[in-house]
Structures are given as structure tokens and as C-alpha cells.
Amino acid sequence: NTDEKGEPKKYDPTFKGPIYNRGCTDIVCCILFIICILGYVAVGILAWSQGDPRKVIYPTDSRGQFCGQAGTPLETKPLLFYFNIMKCASPMVLLEFQCPTTQMCVEKCPDKFMTLLKAYANKEDFKYYKNFCKEGLEGLTVTQILSSGLCPAMLTPSKPFTRRCFPALGQKKGGEITVGNNSKFDDGEGNIRDAKDLVAGVKNATVVIEARQVAMKIFEDYTQSWYWIIIGLVIAMLISLLFIVLLRFLAGIMVWVMIVMVILVIGYGIFHCSMEYVSLKSEAGSNVTLKDLGFQTDFSVYLHIRQTWLAFIIILAIVEVIIILLLIFLRNRILIAIALIKEASRAIGYVMSALFYPLFTFALLSIVIAYWAVTAVFLSTSNQPIYKVFNETACDHSRKICEPANFSTSSMKAECPDSKCLFAFYGGETVYHKYLIGLQFYNVFLFFWCANFVTALGQMTLAGAFASYYWALVKPDDMPAFPIFSSLGRSLRYHTGSLAFGSLILSIIQIIRVLLEYIDHKLQGTQNKCTKFLLCCLKCCFWCLEKFIKFINRNAYIMVAIYGKNFCTSAKDAFFLLMRNMIRVAVLDKVTDFLLFLGKLLIVGLVGIFAFFFFSGRVKAFENTAPNLHYYWVPILTVVVGSYLIAHGFFSVYAMCVDTLFLCFLEDLERNDGSAERPYLMSDRLLRVLNKKNKPEPAE
């Protein structure tokens, strides 16, 4: 294998594109991946056999029973009632995640003030009161009932929230806290208490209630605007398809038009923000700073502050200046990038099915995410109910594990008469429960590995299809009949191990990043400056390492798709090929990515502007058509994010095509010299831009 000068041949002169006669690569990693997948399935089966999602769906009473569960005696009692909600103000609630008061399942929450002492004297009232008491009240006095903990000392008007009864707190104009429209209530022990005393017990719940109210308004907005959101997303898809088709025939013009339109759109944004900034000058309260305002659930409040529009102006101006400077200093590289985009457009024209391949990737990722989520829920609910001693006075057995069945006759109850054995949380002491955290970790790790594998499969499949286009001497005659299916079959048949190897490396780095975030979260408030600095450096380093590995993996998959070598060899070849062409990589490839990003930005900007004027009712033609919303930014953000994902799906194919053609282009420059024996296979456009040409065959 030497040439005429006796030097080793660098390439096979018979190379005509992706190698079809190839063998399996990275078999060991393929076997390891298959074993891990089988283990993942086993973990899922084990979790499904042990787990109980009802623990997430239904609230649990003091006996560990599920309120409202179908097919049980508590089916008609879906709500959880607290005997004394004020005890939930105890600091132990934050540690135990359990309120130290008796909890029982009820059919309805109480809707009136009532004390046990007064209700006991009236037969009808006591009949109503029994709905919130345990069984076994017959023949007992009020004192005996209270000492036995069979009934709450009082009832307060409550409302159901997340299947739990919380006091119906309100607020008068003067800021006075009320419950059931009263500012004071009888606590059942002869004391008149202020309604504000209940606030501490439901403090954490009020935050959730406010969030629920916002969530309900957002949900209502979605129900009012979902069809308009779908129309907006369909428009984004049509614009993306139109953009791709126009790039196929008018790539050069489209790129320059796109650049000009982005500049004009940003310029209009700066002008509009400036006008809003000036118009708010005379408006009262507009000079309040964002820091003083704090977080507001109604985001339209921020639009009435001058500082918001000033921030928009600065951000847009910086983006505008960056784009203009790039155009000035990189205009020659932009010409080469445009030539690459034109070539990518031609390639996609021959492989149109590639545009719909992201749907297949999305479907596989949805399966991976769904399996992970379901397994995580079953694992987290596969513990056994644990009961602990809760008491009000000093007790040596406080917070110790107990058995509710025989607690009344136990020594713990005898030594601590006022104590109760209540459900605390779900746990367990078996081997399965001890290694439950390890199974959760395995679930997360396999989720990363499978998700990265699916993404890698998509990259290698697209790379193989586009490489077959580039290296075809006569297009499309020398291309496979179905490039995408042919490339997908080769990737799965021969290179599952290489895909698993690359995705494994990336998954290890990602799981380390997750652990670092977990450690940082756990150590918050206890870290010194040195620890914070060290964690910050580690997170930054692993973030950079993840980006670098993604870059290496992407190019390694392209080389595997072309030559059929193992992952390490392909990664090495791709890395050194890129290093030999560092200037082109640093400038040309990134300029191309930037131009594609501008395309996504343009599509999102056009759809976003249309959505803003439509949903905000600022266009008179749509005033009667636009739905009435609590927060008009909800459908706008949904349309913008959805449009970006749609555009990203289409342009990700373009980006993979450009990256593949770029590597093939670099290989072509090194492999061939333009002679009749070794002609360049790149298009005439690229030849002209690079001032290269193929020499004609010598006349006989």
C-alpha cells in the first residue's frame, strides 16, 4: 500500500463515498448497551410491581389510607381534613413534611364555625359534627372525646384545594385577615382567637393557592386560544417549509434578504421600544425600577415601566451592532458559507425525506422520556407507609417509629399520654428500599444514555445520507434509491456500538453535572467562599467539556457514517482534519451556523410579531376576533417557543447537512488535487469561490 514514491498511501484511490462493505464497530460497547437496556427494562418491571402511583394522586390520612380511591370504603371521601390546622405551623413540618395533627378523609370540607362543646348540646349540630370525627363516639362525654382525639375541638369554614381542606382565609380592605368573613373565632377550648393565627398553619399553602390561581387563569387562556395557537404553529411550519424550498432555488438571494430583514426587524424593534420609552416619560409610576417592583405574575405590569423598554433597546442595539460588524469583517467567508448553504439546498433537494426525519427522532425521544418519567414515579412510590409518634409535650419517644394497630396499648402511649401514632412518610428497611436511590440514579443515567443515543442515531443517519450525495460522481444516479433508509439501516446494523460509545461518554459528563448541581443545592447556606468557588469552577469546566464532547461526537458520527471505522478512530480523524483546517472551522462553519440561526430568528420574529399584534388586540381588524385573555403573553410565548422548535427541527437537518458537506469538502481538498486522475467532487460554485478548478482530461 505505497505510492510510486514509496510513501504510504493516505487514502484509498477507489473511494467513491460511504463504504458499503463495512463491518461492525465497537462491539463491546454494543453488548454493554444491550445489557444495560435489558437491566433498564428489569428495573422498570420491578418498579411497576412495587410502586403505587396512588400515593401521588390521592392524599393520605393518618392511617396511611388513600382518600377518594375507587373501590375502597373511602371512595366517597376524596378530601383530607386536618383536626387542627394551626399545628401545621410547627417547624417540624418542614423537616417531616407532615403536619403533627390527626388527618382524616371527609366527603366535604366544613362550611361553618362550630365547636365540639356547642355542637354536643344540639342533636342536629352534633350529627353534622360527626362527619369530621372518628368512630366510637357513643356514650362518651366531650372531655373523653377530646382526650381520646376522636374529634377536632373546632371547625372553621374551609375550601378544598389539592384535595385538602384549608381555612377559607380572606382579607378586608384594611388588611385585616378573616376566615369565613369573621376576624375572630372560638378555638373550642374556651379561647377567642384571631383569624391571623391560622395564617402560619397555611402559610405554605397560600403560596401554592396563588400559584394555582395563576395556573387556572393560564389554563383558561389556553382553552380560549388553543386553536389560534395551532394556527400560529401551522403558519410557522408553512413559513419554514417555504423558506427551505426558496433556499433550494434562491439560496444566495434568500441569505442576503434574510440578513437584511433581520437587521430591519431588529431596527424596527429598537424604534418601537424607543417610542414606548418616550411615551412613558409623562406617565406616573413609570420610573419605578425592576428591582423595586419585584416579581409580578401579571407580566403586562413590566410594560408600563421605562426601565423595561430601556433594557430592550440596549439588548437589541447590541445584537444589531454585532450583526453589522460580522457582515463587514466576514463578508468573504459569508460568500463561502452561502456556497455551502446552496450545496446543502441541492443535497436536501435530492434527499427531501430528511426534512421529516426529525419527527422520527422526536417520537423516539418521547418514548424515552415517557419511560423514564413513569419508571421514576413508580420507583418513588414503591415505599411502605412509616408511622411516627407525634406529641405536644416533652416525650422521649417523639418522632420514633410506631405501629398504629397496637399503639393505644403500647408503652409509648403509657409514657406519653397525649402522643399520637400518625402516618409520617413512605419508606422501608428491606434490601429493595435500601438500594432504591441507586435504582433512581440508574434510571436517570439510562435516560441520558438512551436520549443521547437517539440523538446520535439521527445525526449519523442524516450524515450518511448527505455524504452519499456529496461523493456521488453522477447525481443522483450514483446515490442509493432511498438514502435515509439506507443510512439508517447501516447505522443500526453496523454502528450501534459506536453510537452507544459516543453517547455513553456524553452521558457520564451530564450525570456528573447533575451531581454537581445536586451537591450545590444541598450545600446552599453552609458553603464558604472557597467551596462556592470550587463548585462554580467545576460546573463551568464540565459545561465546557460537555460542549466540546458534543462537537467531537457530531463530527465523529459523520466520519463513522462515511468510512465505517470505530468511534475512537473516527473521532481522531475528524479532530485532526478539523485542526488542519482550523481557520475554516473557526470562521466558515460558525458563520454558516450563524446564518442558519438568523433564518430561525427571522421565522420566529415574523410569527412572534404577528402573534403579539393579534393576541394583544392592537390591530383593529382583529379586535373582535382575538379571544379575551387574562394574560395575552401566554399564547404569544407558546407560539414563539413552538415556532422556534419547529424552525429548529427543519434547520437542524440543514445544519447537519452543512456539517457533513463541510467535512466532505475538507476531505475532498486533501484527497484530491483537481487532476484528471483525482478530480475535486465539490460543486462548481465551491470551486469558483475557492479559486480551484478541475483540470481537463489530456487529449489522446
Q: Cβ distance 657 to 244 under 8 Å?
A: no
At residue 115, the 3 state secondary structure works out as strand
Look at the block and give the residue holding cell 356514650: 139
Over 90: is that where the pLDDT of 221 sits?
no
Most confident of 117-121, 232-236, 407-411, 453-457: 453-457
Over 90: is that where the pLDDT of 452 sits?
yes
Cell numbers for 683, please give them. Answer: 460543486
- Measured CA to CA, the distance from residue 461 to residue 491 in angstroms comes to 7
Determine phi and psi for 139, rounding to 5 degrees.
80, 5
pTM assigned to the model: 0.68
Look at the block and give the residue holding cell 432555488: 249
Most confident of 318-322, 335-339, 353-357, 620-624: 318-322
Residue 481 vs residue 248, higher pLDDT: 481
Most confident of 91-105, 123-137, 220-234, 581-595: 123-137
Look at the block and give the residue holding cell 403533627: 100
Query: What is the enclosing helix (H) or strand (E) of 46?
Result: helix 27-50
Over 80: is that where the pLDDT of 304 sits?
no
Q: Cβ distance 389 to 397 under 8 Å?
A: yes
- Measured CA to CA, the distance from residue 82 to residue 109 in angstroms comes to 10
Mean pLDDT of 394-405: 74
Round to the nearest angstrom and report the end-to-end CA distance of the chain.
30
- Looking at every residue in the chain, the average pLDDT score rounds to 77
Mean pLDDT of 519-523: 75
- Measured CA to CA, the distance from residue 29 to residue 456 in angstroms comes to 15
Share of the chain above pLDDT 90, in %: 11
Q: What does the pLDDT read at residue 457?
A: 93
Cell numbers for 432, please give them. Answer: 429493595
- Mean pLDDT check: name the lowest of 72-81, 118-127, 314-323, 404-413: 404-413
Over 60: is that where the pLDDT of 205 sits?
no
**DSSP-assigned letter for residue 429:** -
- Measured CA to CA, the distance from residue 185 to residue 198 in angstroms comes to 10
User: Computed from CA positions of residues 471, 472, 475, 481, in that sequence, does the dihedral angle turn out positive or negative?
Assistant: negative
pLDDT category, 545, cuts 50, 70, 90?
very high
- Mean pLDDT check: name the lowest of 48-52, 92-96, 415-419: 92-96
Q: What does the pLDDT read at residue 499?
A: 94
- Measured CA to CA, the distance from residue 307 to residue 240 in angstroms comes to 35
Q: Cβ distance 573 to 555 under 8 Å?
A: no
